[in-house]
Chain A
Amino acid sequence: MTGSPALRRLGLLTPALVTIAVLVGVPLTLLFWISLLQKGGSSGVDWASVPSLANYIRLVWEEDFDGTMILNTSYLVILLRSILQAAVTTGLSLLFGLPVALWMAGLSRGQRDLMLLLITIPFWTNLLVRNYAWLIILREDGWFSQMVDFISPVGPIQLLYNDLAVVIGLTYSFLPFMILPLYAVFEKFDWRLLEAAHDLGAPRSRAIRRVLIPIAMPGIAAGSLLVFIPCLGAFVTPALLGGGKTLMLGNIIQMQFGASRNWPFGATLAVVLLSLMLIAMVTMAIWRNRRVR
């Protein structure tokens, strides 16, 4: 290859650019285009309809029988609940993942590798199967449920088919995504820095707050994004463990593309979901940048 360096760089970049364009650009454009169309026919999309923002309006406003628009908050409620569930799941993953990652970083080489293997083993099994397993565990006559009932001071607790079950299932599913990035920063962490903090008068808890956590922040941020974003779009776990009662954004989207055969509205919801994720990522990036400054 000859020519100017800029041209050569472009040449080298071409495969990557083409891949991104075909696998990301085209589907996203298509999705956005469909969100502007109307539903129709057996394919779910009326390709001949006039593009409009009607679907986006439908998210909040509903046309009454006499043609007046009334506020419809049901989608907003689902949206908020999805965000809340994802946030609670992220918080719980952090709560459980932090000690585990810390503990792992202190193990010997061989033990660490074993732990990493154990943490990745669930990925060998389909998510659906693992959620069915939770179905059995949380069932009223399941061992876990029985145990909880046994020690519960307020009588039997309904564990299945509610928000709690969904949060348990989601936390379980996404915990490894929290542990792994946390482990990556703790593994590189120079523990002598904690000694330095002690030396300068900081007791254990203060040293962790002023030294360990700030240095681990990139891992905490990465783990939180890796849990929060897929949680927002999760639909298998809410469908199975929530028993169809506690719908999340992912379930509605799935329904629009499936049973309801309303691709344009499904696409609209998907675009909203994508935008939310984008906002989460950009917020995180800005926040991290500010910390580095």
Chain B
Amino acid sequence: MTDSSAVSITAVSKSFGRGSAAVRVLEDVSVEIGQREFFTLLGPSGCGKTTLLRLIAGFETADQGRIAIEGQDVTQAPPFRRPVNTVFQNYALFPHLTVEQNVGFALVEQQMPAAQIRARVGESLEMVRMQSYARRRPAELSGGQQQRVALARALAPRPKVLLLDEPLSALDLKLRKEMQIELKLLQAEAGITFLFVTHDQEEALTLSDRVAVMQGGRILQMGAPREIYETPTHRFVADFIGDINLIEAEALPGNTIRLIGGAQITHPHQAHGRVTLAIRPERARIVALDASHLQARVVHTAYLGTALVHKLALADGSTFLLRQSDLDGAQPSLGSQIGLSLPADSLRVLVQ
């Protein structure tokens, strides 16, 4: 994949601080991002997303490992020699320059002829529908407008890769949804690789071709949104993305798993001893109460318009969420004991 990769990160580690005060922020991170891919780094606050982005942009240097852009090793290259541009979380627009001067900044640096700069700036502003604001200053724009200008500014020099550090986090929900769609369209139009950072799992799933879930400086799982959502390999990934039920169980030899309450089910696994089972709320089924199924008591039922969500209590006291989309079907009454079927194709056995 090395030749066709837009960004290739190989075994990169990074620590801040020196000596005993050193803190490992990235640990042996390797990622290959394909051409024109919309790739998202997803993870909780402080997991090292920004640091990884800054390493790619060149604002920090890696302690170990190699970073290549379009096959070109840039591990030691300064930021101004890398064919990437960044949309900063705080936009970082130049307050003393007008919108068009901001967008043309990189083009002036490239010593492009003035007429060409004007044309390119116009094009870029048109892409984000900000032509009529060309002569304003950043302080005279709303948050969403500033965001668009930041985008246009980063796109104007036609970088190979665009790095976006939580560009939508400062916007309100409605504008954010609008901008998500626009970002996606823009990426298709510009044909540029996007490396997007967010801690919003919904945003990650909606926008991305592929997602890398990070925790504590490591990439836990990488894959298409659907893959991450439906077949999480880590407890953390399962828990971080969407609602999921995590139940304790015991793995027995012969592809058997003993559930809470003693019921045994057959499910392929390589584990042994205590494991965690993961199942999405919409995947479990209500069945008649018997010894071969997990038992649960209905604690609370919430009506969500398109579905019912039952809050159930298992025998060990843990909570289990069940989402019932079939509103016309039989509904368990409050306080009743029910059986739960866990379909094998939706059940994941997770390592801790």
| Binary contact track B36-69/A, C-beta < 8 Å → 1, others 0 | 0000000000000000000001110000000000
* Contact across chains for A214 and B96 when beta carbons are under 8 A apart: yes
| Chain A stretch 155-201: residues in CB contact (< 8 A) with chain B | 190, 192-193, 195-201
What residue of chain A has the Cβ atom nearest to residue B85's Cβ? A199
With A200-B109, A206-B109 known to touch, is A193 a contact of B80 (CB < 8 Å)?
Answer: no
* Contact across chains for A201 and B80 when beta carbons are under 8 A apart: yes
Main secondary structure of the interface of A (DSSP, over half): helix
Please give, as numbers and ranges, the residues of chain B lying within 8 Å of A203 by CB-CB distance: 78, 80
| Chain B stretch 159-173: residues in CB contact (< 8 A) with chain A | none
* Contact across chains for B96 and A198 when beta carbons are under 8 A apart: no
Which of A199, A203, A206 has the most chain B CB atoms closer than 10 A to its own CB?
A199
Which of A198, A206, A210, A214 has the most chain B CB atoms closer than 10 A to its own CB?
A198
In the assembled complex, 16 residue pairs joining A and B whose CB atoms fall closer than 8 Å, in A order, are: A190-B92, A192-B88, A193-B92, A193-B94, A193-B95, A195-B92, A196-B92, A197-B105, A198-B58, A198-B78, A199-B154, A201-B80, A210-B105, A211-B94, A211-B96, A215-B95
- Asked if A226 CB lies within 8 Å of chain B CBs, one says no
Distance in angstroms between the alpha carbons of A197 and B106 in the assembled complex: 8
Distance in angstroms between the alpha carbons of A202 and B104 in the assembled complex: 12
| Binary contact track B103-137/A, C-beta < 8 Å → 1, others 0 | 00110111000000000000000000000000000
* Contact across chains for B157 and A200 when beta carbons are under 8 A apart: yes
Please give, as numbers and ranges, the residues of chain B lying within 8 Å of A190 by CB-CB distance: 92
* Contact across chains for B109 and A201 when beta carbons are under 8 A apart: yes
Distance in angstroms between the alpha carbons of A217 and B85 in the assembled complex: 27
Residues of B at under 8 Å CB distance from A? 57-59, 78-80, 84-86, 88, 90, 92-96, 105-106, 108-110, 153-154, 157
Number of interface residues of A (CB under 8 A): 18
Smallest beta-carbon distance A108→chain B, Å: 15
* Contact across chains for A200 and B59 when beta carbons are under 8 A apart: no
With A200-B85, A201-B106, A201-B110 known to touch, is A192 a contact of B79 (CB < 8 Å)?
Answer: no
What residue of chain A has the Cβ atom nearest to residue B59's Cβ? A195
Kindly identify which residue among A196, A202, A215, A217 contacts B86, using a CB–CB cutoff of 8 Å.
A196
Please give, as numbers and ranges, the residues of chain A lying within 8 Å of B153 by CB-CB distance: 200
What residue of chain B has the Cβ atom nearest to residue A215's Cβ? B96
Residues of A at under 8 Å CB distance from B? 190, 192-193, 195-203, 206, 210-211, 214-215, 217
Smallest beta-carbon distance B19→chain A, Å: 19
Please give, as numbers and ranges, the residues of chain A lying within 8 Å of B59 by CB-CB distance: 195, 198-199
What residue of chain B has the Cβ atom nearest to residue A191's Cβ? B92
* Contact across chains for B92 and A202 when beta carbons are under 8 A apart: no
Smallest beta-carbon distance B96→chain A, Å: 5
With A201-B106, A206-B109 known to touch, is A196 a contact of B80 (CB < 8 Å)?
Answer: no
Distance in angstroms between the alpha carbons of A230 and B88 in the assembled complex: 44
What residue of chain B has the Cβ atom nearest to residue A217's Cβ? B96
Distance in angstroms between the alpha carbons of A201 and B112 in the assembled complex: 13
Distance in angstroms between the alpha carbons of A132 and B88 in the assembled complex: 54
* Contact across chains for A200 and B78 when beta carbons are under 8 A apart: no
Smallest beta-carbon distance B149→chain A, Å: 12
Contacts A199-B59, A203-B78 given; 14 further ones with Cβ under 8 A?
A190-B92, A193-B94, A195-B92, A198-B78, A199-B79, A199-B85, A199-B154, A200-B80, A200-B85, A200-B153, A200-B157, A202-B80, A203-B80, A215-B94
Distance in angstroms between the alpha carbons of A192 and B92 in the assembled complex: 7
Distance in angstroms between the alpha carbons of A7 and B80 in the assembled complex: 60
Smallest beta-carbon distance B337→chain A, Å: 58
Kindly identify which residue among B79, B94, B108 contacts A198, using a CB–CB cutoff of 8 Å.
B79
* Contact across chains for A201 and B94 when beta carbons are under 8 A apart: no
Smallest beta-carbon distance A198→chain B, Å: 4
Please give, as numbers and ranges, the residues of chain A lying within 8 Å of B95 by CB-CB distance: 193, 215
What residue of chain B has the Cβ atom nearest to residue A213's Cβ? B96
What residue of chain A has the Cβ atom nearest to residue B91's Cβ? A196
User: Which 6 A-B pairs give the minimum distances between C-beta atoms?
Assistant: A200-B106, A201-B109, A196-B92, A198-B79, A214-B96, A201-B80
What residue of chain A has the Cβ atom nearest to residue B97's Cβ? A214
Kindly identify which residue among A196, A201, A210, A215 contacts B88, using a CB–CB cutoff of 8 Å.
A196
Distance in angstroms between the alpha carbons of A191 and B263 in the assembled complex: 61
Smallest beta-carbon distance B146→chain A, Å: 13
Please give, as numbers and ranges, the residues of chain B lying within 8 Å of A215 by CB-CB distance: 94-96
* Contact across chains for B110 and A196 when beta carbons are under 8 A apart: no
With A195-B59, A206-B109, A214-B96 known to touch, is A201 a contact of B157 (CB < 8 Å)?
Answer: yes
Distance in angstroms between the alpha carbons of A193 and B79 in the assembled complex: 13
Distance in angstroms between the alpha carbons of A193 and B80 in the assembled complex: 14
Smallest beta-carbon distance B84→chain A, Å: 8
Please give, as numbers and ranges, the residues of chain A lying within 8 Å of B58 by CB-CB distance: 198
Please give, as numbers and ranges, the residues of chain A lying within 8 Å of B80 by CB-CB distance: 198-203
Smallest beta-carbon distance B76→chain A, Å: 15
Distance in angstroms between the alpha carbons of A206 and B108 in the assembled complex: 11
Please give, as numbers and ranges, the residues of chain A lying within 8 Å of B88 by CB-CB distance: 192, 195-196
Distance in angstroms between the alpha carbons of A217 and B88 in the assembled complex: 25
Please give, as numbers and ranges, the residues of chain A lying within 8 Å of B57 by CB-CB distance: 199
Smallest beta-carbon distance A218→chain B, Å: 10
What residue of chain A has the Cβ atom nearest to residue B156's Cβ? A200
* Contact across chains for B94 and A195 when beta carbons are under 8 A apart: no
Please give, as numbers and ranges, the residues of chain B lying within 8 Å of A210 by CB-CB distance: 105, 108
* Contact across chains for B86 and A199 when beta carbons are under 8 A apart: yes
Please give, as numbers and ranges, the residues of chain A lying within 8 Å of B106 by CB-CB distance: 200-202
